[in-house]
Amino acid sequence: MKIAFLFAGQGAQYVGMGQELSNSSAFKGVFEYLPSNLQKICFEGPTEDLNNTLNAQPCIVAVSLGIAKVLKSKGVDCEYAAGLSLGEYTALAYSEAISVKDVLELVRKRSEIMSNAVPKNTGMAAIFNCEAEIIENVIKDIENLEIANYNSPKQIVITGSMNSIDEAILKLKDLGYKSKKLNVSGAFHSSYLKNASEELFSVLKDVEFKEPNKKIVFNTVGKTSDEDVKILLKNQIKSGVKFMQSIEFMIENGVDTFIEIGPGKVLSGLVKQINSEVNIYQVESLESIGKVVDLLNE
């Protein structure tokens, strides 16, 4: 059995996530690095405050990392680690490439940079059951529009100006494909964030990274990489996320068991769409951790 941990991205957060694990020493070892005001928002809300990008990003990383540490304390570990956008930072922290303290400060700064970067009248939309090649052909002649996420064979996300998104949605509708605008504040993972990526890079330059002790599969390349992690993270916020390619790469390298760690079940659903034959588990509670530990130790 070869295991990969997958870490949740932004949008999966909910008030109370991780709270039932708060007495675990493994969880506490991570969560104590989160400022007390954020701990309170994470466990007690209100939802509006937790959904604020500035709060959501560090809270999701802290909770996901804490859950992974609890799982590890019970004997379940991974060979590969990956995350969806923000989750990539959790994967790096879990693999000890960056300290808990540094990763929480870094994602807080990243969230500030991203919040200030996206212009108004930009956004994202998911396209369903449509091949990437068809979408690429439709959007190539539309200005200010790019692919943000290759999520699965059944879901690809486009990003750009709202006018361009509307134009693409109409063209794809004429071809028989459904789409849905996403509830996000702007065109993330697009060239609109080029300046933001440079700003993030200036922050990354001062952060200490070590060699990870897991094989990290990076969003921008969809595989492991020897490139400087700071360059990969800089490029991540302005480039498309190759989640589908990342999963396919891990399967090609022998991974047969994926464990989604953190709030929500989004990644588990995508993995099932990519390959229905692999084992996929989701852990975010004491009960789900117990089930996975029992199954994998049989």
* Active-site annotation, residues: 85, 189
Of 62, 26, 29, 25, residue with least CA distance to 43 = 62
How many CB atoms neighbour CB 9 within 10 A? Answer: 27
103 Ramachandran zone, left/alpha/beta (phi>0; psi -120 to 50):
alpha
User: What is the distance between the alpha carbons of residues 47 and 66, in angstroms, rounded to a whole number?
Assistant: 21
191 DSSP 8-state letter: G
Q: Is the dihedral of CA 132, 188, 275, 248 positive or negative?
A: positive
How many CB atoms neighbour CB 238 within 10 A? Answer: 21
User: What is the distance between the alpha carbons of residues 227 and 232, in angstroms, rounded to a whole number?
Assistant: 7
29 Ramachandran zone, left/alpha/beta (phi>0; psi -120 to 50):
alpha
